[in-house]
Amino acid sequence: MRISKIFLITAGIVFLIGIGLTIYVRYETPNKSTKATFTTAQGRTDLIELTNPLPGQTISSPLTVTGRARGNWYFEASFPVMLTNWDGLIIAQAPAQAEGEWMTEEFVPFSVTLTFDENQLYERGSLILKKDNPSDLPEHDDALEIPVLLKTKK
Protein backbone atom coordinates (compact mmCIF):
# COMPACT_ATOMS: atom_id res chain seq x y z
CA MET A 1 0.00 0.00 0.00
CA ARG A 2 2.85 2.37 0.81
CA ILE A 3 4.51 1.61 -2.57
CA SER A 4 1.38 2.50 -4.55
CA LYS A 5 1.10 5.81 -2.64
CA ILE A 6 4.73 6.67 -3.48
CA PHE A 7 4.14 5.62 -7.09
CA LEU A 8 1.06 7.84 -7.38
CA ILE A 9 2.86 10.83 -5.87
CA THR A 10 5.86 10.34 -8.19
CA ALA A 11 3.62 9.94 -11.23
CA GLY A 12 1.73 13.12 -10.25
CA ILE A 13 4.98 15.08 -9.89
CA VAL A 14 6.28 13.85 -13.26
CA PHE A 15 2.94 14.77 -14.84
CA LEU A 16 3.03 18.29 -13.38
CA ILE A 17 6.63 18.79 -14.51
CA GLY A 18 5.62 17.69 -18.02
CA ILE A 19 2.73 20.18 -18.07
CA GLY A 20 5.02 22.93 -16.77
CA LEU A 21 7.63 22.26 -19.46
CA THR A 22 4.97 22.21 -22.15
CA ILE A 23 3.63 25.59 -21.01
CA TYR A 24 7.15 27.03 -20.80
CA VAL A 25 8.10 25.87 -24.29
CA ARG A 26 4.78 27.02 -25.73
CA TYR A 27 4.70 30.51 -24.20
CA GLU A 28 8.23 31.44 -23.19
CA THR A 29 10.24 30.52 -26.27
CA PRO A 30 10.61 33.15 -28.99
CA ASN A 31 7.60 33.50 -31.24
CA LYS A 32 8.37 31.87 -34.58
CA SER A 33 5.19 33.13 -36.23
CA THR A 34 7.13 36.03 -37.73
CA LYS A 35 8.16 33.61 -40.47
CA ALA A 36 5.97 31.12 -42.23
CA THR A 37 6.61 28.41 -44.75
CA PHE A 38 3.75 27.77 -47.14
CA THR A 39 2.54 25.13 -49.51
CA THR A 40 2.73 26.39 -53.08
CA ALA A 41 0.30 25.52 -55.87
CA GLN A 42 2.49 22.53 -56.73
CA GLY A 43 2.27 21.30 -53.14
CA ARG A 44 5.86 22.16 -52.16
CA THR A 45 6.60 23.67 -48.76
CA ASP A 46 10.31 24.27 -49.28
CA LEU A 47 10.23 26.95 -51.99
CA ILE A 48 9.16 30.19 -50.31
CA GLU A 49 8.96 31.71 -46.83
CA LEU A 50 6.97 34.84 -46.11
CA THR A 51 7.77 37.10 -43.16
CA ASN A 52 5.30 39.88 -43.97
CA PRO A 53 2.33 39.76 -44.21
CA LEU A 54 1.10 36.52 -42.69
CA PRO A 55 -2.20 34.85 -43.64
CA GLY A 56 -5.24 36.69 -42.30
CA GLN A 57 -3.23 39.78 -41.36
CA THR A 58 -4.84 43.19 -41.86
CA ILE A 59 -2.76 45.16 -44.34
CA SER A 60 -2.72 48.80 -45.37
CA SER A 61 -1.18 50.77 -48.19
CA PRO A 62 1.73 50.94 -48.77
CA LEU A 63 2.37 47.26 -48.01
CA THR A 64 5.93 45.96 -47.87
CA VAL A 65 6.06 42.25 -48.65
CA THR A 66 9.17 40.43 -47.40
CA GLY A 67 10.45 36.90 -47.23
CA ARG A 68 12.79 34.40 -48.83
CA ALA A 69 12.42 32.27 -51.95
CA ARG A 70 14.59 29.64 -53.57
CA GLY A 71 16.71 31.00 -56.41
CA ASN A 72 14.72 29.10 -59.02
CA TRP A 73 11.60 31.10 -58.03
CA TYR A 74 13.23 34.17 -59.62
CA PHE A 75 14.08 35.11 -63.18
CA GLU A 76 16.50 37.99 -63.68
CA ALA A 77 16.37 38.56 -59.90
CA SER A 78 12.61 39.18 -59.67
CA PHE A 79 9.18 37.55 -59.65
CA PRO A 80 5.64 38.98 -59.91
CA VAL A 81 3.58 39.85 -56.83
CA MET A 82 -0.09 40.79 -57.04
CA LEU A 83 -2.70 41.90 -54.56
CA THR A 84 -6.31 41.12 -55.47
CA ASN A 85 -9.62 42.07 -53.93
CA TRP A 86 -12.27 39.51 -53.02
CA ASP A 87 -13.50 39.36 -56.64
CA GLY A 88 -10.00 38.55 -57.92
CA LEU A 89 -9.47 41.99 -59.44
CA ILE A 90 -5.79 42.99 -59.28
CA ILE A 91 -5.55 46.15 -57.16
CA ALA A 92 -1.74 46.31 -56.94
CA GLN A 93 1.18 44.58 -58.59
CA ALA A 94 4.93 44.91 -58.77
CA PRO A 95 7.97 42.65 -59.11
CA ALA A 96 9.62 41.43 -55.93
CA GLN A 97 13.36 42.00 -56.11
CA ALA A 98 16.01 39.57 -54.91
CA GLU A 99 18.22 41.06 -52.22
CA GLY A 100 21.19 38.87 -52.96
CA GLU A 101 22.61 36.46 -55.51
CA TRP A 102 19.57 34.78 -57.04
CA MET A 103 21.35 32.25 -59.27
CA THR A 104 21.40 29.60 -56.55
CA GLU A 105 19.22 26.81 -55.22
CA GLU A 106 19.38 28.36 -51.74
CA PHE A 107 16.92 30.81 -50.19
CA VAL A 108 17.34 34.43 -51.29
CA PRO A 109 15.65 37.32 -49.43
CA PHE A 110 13.18 39.49 -51.36
CA SER A 111 11.03 42.56 -50.85
CA VAL A 112 8.47 44.57 -52.75
CA THR A 113 6.23 47.48 -51.83
CA LEU A 114 2.66 47.49 -53.11
CA THR A 115 0.47 50.59 -53.09
CA PHE A 116 -3.29 50.22 -53.36
CA ASP A 117 -6.38 52.38 -53.07
CA GLU A 118 -7.80 52.02 -49.57
CA ASN A 119 -11.23 53.10 -50.87
CA GLN A 120 -11.99 49.47 -51.69
CA LEU A 121 -15.43 47.92 -51.55
CA TYR A 122 -13.96 44.72 -50.14
CA GLU A 123 -12.20 44.09 -46.88
CA ARG A 124 -10.78 40.72 -47.95
CA GLY A 125 -8.29 39.88 -50.64
CA SER A 126 -5.37 37.70 -51.61
CA LEU A 127 -1.65 38.25 -51.94
CA ILE A 128 -0.24 36.19 -54.82
CA LEU A 129 3.48 35.52 -55.21
CA LYS A 130 3.99 33.95 -58.62
CA LYS A 131 7.07 31.98 -59.65
CA ASP A 132 8.58 33.76 -62.63
CA ASN A 133 8.23 31.50 -65.66
CA PRO A 134 9.70 33.07 -68.80
CA SER A 135 9.22 29.80 -70.73
CA ASP A 136 5.41 29.93 -70.22
CA LEU A 137 5.47 26.13 -69.95
CA PRO A 138 2.71 25.06 -67.54
CA GLU A 139 4.93 22.52 -65.79
CA HIS A 140 7.10 25.43 -64.56
CA ASP A 141 4.18 27.48 -63.21
CA ASP A 142 3.81 27.84 -59.46
CA ALA A 143 2.32 30.39 -57.12
CA LEU A 144 1.65 31.09 -53.48
CA GLU A 145 -1.66 32.69 -52.56
CA ILE A 146 -2.46 33.83 -49.04
CA PRO A 147 -5.64 35.48 -47.76
CA VAL A 148 -5.30 38.98 -46.29
CA LEU A 149 -7.64 41.58 -44.83
CA LEU A 150 -7.57 44.97 -46.52
CA LYS A 151 -7.68 48.01 -44.27
CA THR A 152 -10.23 50.24 -45.96
CA LYS A 153 -11.37 53.80 -45.49
CA LYS A 154 -15.10 54.02 -44.95
Beta carbons within 10 angstroms of residue 101's beta carbon: 10
pLDDT for 53-86, tens place per residue?
999 999 999 999 999 999 999 999 999 999 999 8
Direct distance between the N- and C-terminal alpha carbons of the chain, in angstroms, rounded to an integer: 72
Radius of gyration of the chain (CA): 22
- pTM confidence score: 0.72
Instruction: Fill in the amino acid letter for 2.
Output: R
User: For domain 36-150, is the CATH number 2.60.40.2550?
Assistant: yes
Domain boundaries, the chain: 1-30, 36-150
Cα–Cα dist 53/5, whole Å: 54
Instruction: Fill in the amino acid letter for 110.
Output: F
